[in-house]
Structure 1
Amino acid sequence: MKKIFITLILALICTISKATEKEIIAEVTFENLTNKEFTSGEFTIINSNHKIEVNNAESFKITLPEKGKYLFSFVSDDFTAYTFYPARISNRKNTITIRLMEKTELSYSSGIYSFPMNLDTNLTEEQIKIRISDGTLNFIIHGIDGSIPEEYLAFKEKYGIGLIKENCVIDPLSFKKVTENNQMIFDYLNKKYGTEWLTELKAKPFGIK
């Protein structure tokens, strides 16, 4: 009995150790290109919708479950924020840079810009099915708050496709990638279900009428 117990403990330690080995420690750094002191903002890991309140411009570290593609955003009421990061986060490429610039009237209220828009919009039908199975395929819309309409919760339950809602963005690159992502999902659903599924979404994502 004692041997069995020791074996189970060792197996548990081994499992935890392997999980820890997969984790990636990424560093978030700031470039303040203004004369204004930074005092507040919110950093978001969009994949998990994990939000971190930030109260100064000192670098900080985040833990990600494994290497791969991630989406990040940063918003501050006092600055226009540009977020730069590698297309794939790994142990070697793990720096996320937030560039703070003066907010102008053209920045709108959100001041959020995220680069690159890590969306693979050329998935095969088989890859789409895998993403649906993993629960990682999402429509993307932009709005002034982070609330998700109830219809999308029911939609994911039925079709396996969720929704990511980001703050308003105005850069053409992000808009183009979001539209391509939504159109790819639109084409897949039309092929599989016809157009009836559209009646279940009152708020249509970009690129879908």
Structure 2
Amino acid sequence: MFSIPNMSSTDDLTAKARIRDAALRLFGSAGVGRVSMQAIAAQAGVSPALIVHHFGSKDGLRRACDEHVVSMARGAPGRADAASRDAPGLAAMLEGAGAERTYLARALLDGSPAAADLFDEIVDTTTAWLAAGEQEGWVHPSEDPRARAAIYVSWLLAPLAFGAHVSRVLDDDITDFDAILRYSRHSVEMLTHGLFADERWLDAWDAVRDHRKRQAPR
């Protein structure tokens, strides 16, 4: 049986948050499977027994990290309209501490259920936001609005997953929020003005699609 030292409720809450924050850093940098309870305990300055006391297991600790980061990304209720309610919280988290940002990237890549739910929510609200833009005339119509929203969200979140590679290629740390703003303007520019000057690549894509349709068994 584990022996848990006596401590005040304030100390208990502080230790719990310290454990969670240590796990955020380690899980985000190395992945859940590569981090031991002993490593988290050493990072947090506590015993492995205290982690078990607060979270039950490493999986319980991972779920607590998921809930913490996802709640930050969702933001506070009422901070935005229904079509973009996730934007303020997600923007604040991306601008804030790097540990949460890194953890979210890892959770999205690893297929965390909570991160998957968050991604689905962001796609839903983005679909509504772009639909409102169509009605107001500042978004072009789409044959598949949900596919458009999913690809748009994937594009916006790509720096979370590929930030280290983009930083290396550009020789600039794009995890800094000012750099994110600077480089994300290129994305907005491409979305606003387009990248290609004519339709040759769209025509080429249509030609491949049409060829595959003709070759498909009937």
TM over 0.5: no
Which structure shows the higher strand fraction? Answer: 1
Structure (1 or 2) with the larger CA radius of gyration:
2
Which structure shows the higher helix fraction? Answer: 2
| Structure having greater relative contact order (Cα 8 Å, sep ≥ 6) | 1
TM-score by length of 1: 0.29
